Structure 1
Amino acid sequence: MKKIIVHCEQEITQMALVEQDQLVEFTSENSQGRQLVGNLYKGRVVNVLPGMQAAFVDIGLKKNAFLYVDDVLHPHLEKQPKIKPSISELLQVGQEIVVQVMKEPLGGKGARVTTHYSLPGRWLVYMPHADYIGVSKKIELEAERLRLKHIGDHARLSGEGIILRTVAEGESKEAIQSDLQLLRALWIQIEQRAAVSTAPVQLHQDLNIIERLVRDMFTSHTERVIIDDPVQGEQVASFLTQVSPEWSSRVQIYKGNEPIFQHYRIKEELDRAYQHKIWLENGGYLVFDHTEALTVIDVNTGKFIGSNTLEETVYETNIQAAKEIARLLRLRDIGGIIIIDFIDMNVERHRQDILDMLEQWMKNDRTKHLILGWTKLGLLEMTRKKVRDHALNSFLEPCNTCKGTGTVFTKR
């Protein structure tokens, strides 16, 4: 079962997701700096770069947004030309264009935007121009996949695209159709605003953090939402009543004397999860090292000496490491290329077991990821989509002494 724990302050809201008594996700949002992903803007093209097959678009933020050629072509791959045209054939400087943020500004880079518009609802994601039906891969029963695809195909209009979300499993045709109608009406409003607005201007803002968590994370498997703000708690209960009346009773207002994150040991778990060196239950440990695009995770036996053979000792450590890595990738929201240096195993079946178990434990991750497998050097390679800077990074800063390297030169 899952618990969602929400801490509200005047300027910031923080959310923690706990599964089977383990912290697996954490996010926060400043009231003055809400996330940009999902927002739609009418922007103006300010630069077209054929050499990069990209353009920069002014959407009214400090830095111009980056628009790649693939995000200008038709969202349906089968409808794209076999040979990509030059970006200069698709866009001109001064042209006004509606774009949607798909990646937050990170470091010195501006936001990445797309013309592949998508509006998430409770049961589905609506894509006004995608012209295809998709069903979440996490819905494994083929009969249910076919049922949902049939519902979506009959409900959509020509040219529209729909992706049925995981939570749509078992949901009624009427609920799915109602969700689609609401999203379609929202898109019509966005188009109408765009027609009468001058760029750069914001056309649509995605929901705030609490509204998103209810939309995206609350399911029949969610035991409780525990929140320390009565007003926000009432809003969550009201939203849940619209989805399923009996769910509103699962909202609990926290009234304890100590801070909510301290009471549920969220702060303690965050402190541990963000260490450079993280100990496993059996005495082994993980070491995390980051660059801008790459994260390397090293697995070590540490204090664990095992009880039988060296191969079994290594295998047991790697199993614990794989499970903890799957959790920490979600919790630390690590994106980009990820290389895991598991301890070398001589038995091929053990290597396959580690790969299979990591894939199984990663199924709960809502962020798109791909496990590529073992490299020739015996490293496990995977990728995980990076959409935004992690919530905790706003509370961290590089050490003034080592400047983020973790080491300093000795006196000579």
Structure 2
Amino acid sequence: MIETRGEAMKQMIVHCTQHMTRMALLENGRLVEYAAERDQQQGLVGSYYKGRVINVLPGMQAAFVDIGQKKNAFLYVDDVLHPHLEKQSQIKPSIETLLQPGQEIMVQVRKEPHGGKGARVTTHYTLPGRWMVYMPFAEYVGVSKKIGREAERNRLKAIGERLRRKEEGLIMRTVSEDEPPEAVEGDLAFLRAQWENITRRALSAEAPALLHQDLSIVQRFIRDAFNPQRDELVIDSPAAVQEAEAFLNDMAPEGYKPVGLYEGPDSIFTAYHIQEQLHRSFSRKITLEGGATLIWDQTEALTVIDVNTAQYTGGISLEDTVTCTNLLAAEEIGRLIRLRDTGGIIIVDFIDMEEESNRRLVTDKLESITLLDRTKTHILGWTRLGLLEMTRKKARHDSAGFAPGLCPCCGGTGKSGSWLD
């Protein structure tokens, strides 16, 4: 595989305890992604179920499906229609014409259950592999937008069109850039076999039933964010090392960098300076280089980030000082959104700038950082009040193991409530 010049050196550090696995991804020693998974609470996203429709709600254009979880899953009409937009009719049919109570249906979880809501499910089935995402009924070939060279995009699209069968759809992932056709073809053969196994189970299973569970947290990050030949993987559990090597052997039969076993006296997260980075990055107040600060507040509906110059005084003029502060903040905000896995609506209150060109510089900086994020972020632009609006898709909710809780005294307000007593 041809390596990209200047690409950051990645280290994937895995800390295993009796009941939890925690994973940290470092780029040049800096923490950029974190996730945790309890051993008995593996996430549902990506898993397939054979479910039973419990009720159909025409007013919501949705149905609720029993998949064997505490809450029934939510299935919207758009997730029942054909996955290819061009195959859909101009007028959206009523959900009642598509589904009936008691009907058995195979669904895939696309969003975790959260709070009082059940999982969000779809019939737009996908199976992610190393080089591609396989879609059994999508009928098109797509190429990752992060592959910029037009000649390479055309090459990958031609490979996909040659390999796919009539109803199949493929999305060529960013890591498929410059890969030989043989590697892509091998990945497709594996995903087809996986899909056939899922459909075979669906024929004999009695609803509700789990048909296929997505990979563990470590396997998922190896598949999605890891270069087996170049990146470093270090784990502090011999059993987890064996599991990771077995997965790498299947995923990268051409060879991979040996998995390291950490046996030091301190916690692996302490030895790699991860714990201190977690505490600093998940604080409400984050101090940037030079003394500027970010204030990070999360509500039920959106996340608000306030940028302050604080002790930062660099720059030859007020406009220059403000712009430099905002550029530093934009770079850190892009990293923290990815690290915290912040989703939904995000509002950033940058310090006011007079010149439009400087606002463009800040937007460009934020966009360049979010391009490194595997989760799609959409920057909408500046409001009339000078706030920057953006959204980020999120399928999985707060990871176990590092989710700061509300203060039992103030309930997260930072103010005493003793006057109510």
Give your verdict on TM over 0.5.
yes
Q: Distance in 1 between matches of 2:239 and 2:325?
A: 46
Q: Structure 1 unaligned segments of length 5 or more: list them.
A: none
Q: Distance in 1 between matches of 2:160 and 2:124?
A: 19
- CA deviations on 1:324-375 (whole Å, 9 max, x unpaired) are 0000001110000001111010111111011111101111101111111112
One-letter amino acid matched to 2:130: R
Q: Distance in 2 between matches of 1:275 and 1:107?
A: 23
**Residue of structure 2 in register with 1:42 after alignment:** 50
- CA deviations on 1:131-173 (whole Å, 9 max, x unpaired) are 1101111111111111111111110100101011111111111
Q: 2:413 aligns with which of 392, 396, 405?
A: 405
Q: Distance in 1 between matches of 2:36 and 2:90?
A: 42
SS class of match (1:400): coil
One-letter amino acid matched to 1:146: N
Q: How far off its partner does 1:10 sit? A: 2.3
Q: How far off its partner does 1:12 sit? A: 1.1
Task: Tell me which moved more, 226-235 or 165-174.
Answer: 226-235
Q: Distance in 1 between matches of 2:133 and 2:173?
A: 7
Contact residue 129 and residue 160 of structure 1 kept, 8 A:
yes
Q: Distance in 1 between matches of 2:107 and 2:155?
A: 33
1:168 aligns with 2:186: no
Off by >6 Å, runs of 4+ in structure 1: none
One-letter amino acid matched to 1:335: G
One-letter amino acid matched to 1:401: C
Q: Distance in 2 between matches of 1:399 and 1:376?
A: 35
Q: Distance in 1 between matches of 2:400 and 2:384?
A: 35
1:81 aligns with 2:89: yes
Q: 1:372 aligns with which of 380, 383, 386?
A: 380
One-letter amino acid matched to 2:304: V
Q: How far off its partner does 1:403 sit? A: 2.1
Q: Distance in 1 between matches of 2:52 and 2:214?
A: 21
Task: Tell me which moved more, 215-224 or 330-339.
Answer: 215-224
- CA deviations on 1:234-276 (whole Å, 9 max, x unpaired) are 3323433445467533421112110100111111111111111
Number of residue equivalences = 412
What is the correspondence of 1:208-223 to structure 2 with a 5 Å cutoff?
208-219=216-227, 222-223=230-231
SS class of match (2:110): strand
**Residue of structure 1 in register with 2:72 after alignment:** 64
Contact residue 22 and residue 401 of structure 2 kept, 8 A:
no
**Residue of structure 1 in register with 2:210 after alignment:** 202
Q: 1:6 aligns with which of 1, 14, 34?
A: 14
Q: Distance in 1 between matches of 2:294 and 2:255?
A: 39
TM-score (norm 2): 0.94
Q: Distance in 2 between matches of 1:33 and 1:84?
A: 37
1:344 aligns with 2:352: yes
Q: Distance in 1 between matches of 2:326 and 2:407?
A: 32
Q: How far off its partner does 1:230 sit? A: 2.0
Inter-CA distance 396–355: structure 2 relative to 1 (3 Å threshold): closer
Contact residue 301 and residue 314 of structure 1 kept, 8 A:
yes
**Residue of structure 2 in register with 1:140 after alignment:** 148
What is the correspondence of 1:24-39 to structure 2 with a 5 Å cutoff?
24-39=32-47
**Residue of structure 2 in register with 1:276 after alignment:** 284
SS class of match (1:25): strand
CA RMSD of aligned residues (A): 1.6
Q: Distance in 1 between matches of 2:106 and 2:15?
A: 35
Q: How far off its partner does 1:410 sit? A: 4.9
Contact residue 106 and residue 388 of structure 1 kept, 8 A:
no
Contact residue 274 and residue 332 of structure 1 kept, 8 A:
yes
Q: Distance in 2 between matches of 1:310 and 1:92?
A: 64
Task: Tell me which moved more, 233-242 or 39-48.
Answer: 233-242
Contact residue 11 and residue 30 of structure 1 kept, 8 A:
yes
Q: Distance in 1 between matches of 2:296 and 2:227?
A: 32
- CA deviations on 1:75-102 (whole Å, 9 max, x unpaired) are 1111111111111111111111100000
Q: How far off its partner does 1:395 sit? A: 4.7
Q: Structure 2 unaligned segments of length 5 or more: list them.
A: 1-8
Inter-CA distance 90–245: structure 2 relative to 1 (3 Å threshold): closer
Q: 1:260 aligns with which of 251, 268, 276?
A: 268
SS class of match (1:48): strand
Q: Distance in 2 between matches of 1:238 and 1:65?
A: 34
TM-score (norm 1): 0.96
Q: 2:111 aligns with which of 99, 103, 119?
A: 103
Contact residue 228 and residue 252 of structure 2 kept, 8 A:
no
Q: How far off its partner does 1:409 sit? A: 3.1
Q: How far off its partner does 1:293 sit? A: 2.5
Contact residue 330 and residue 365 of structure 1 kept, 8 A:
yes
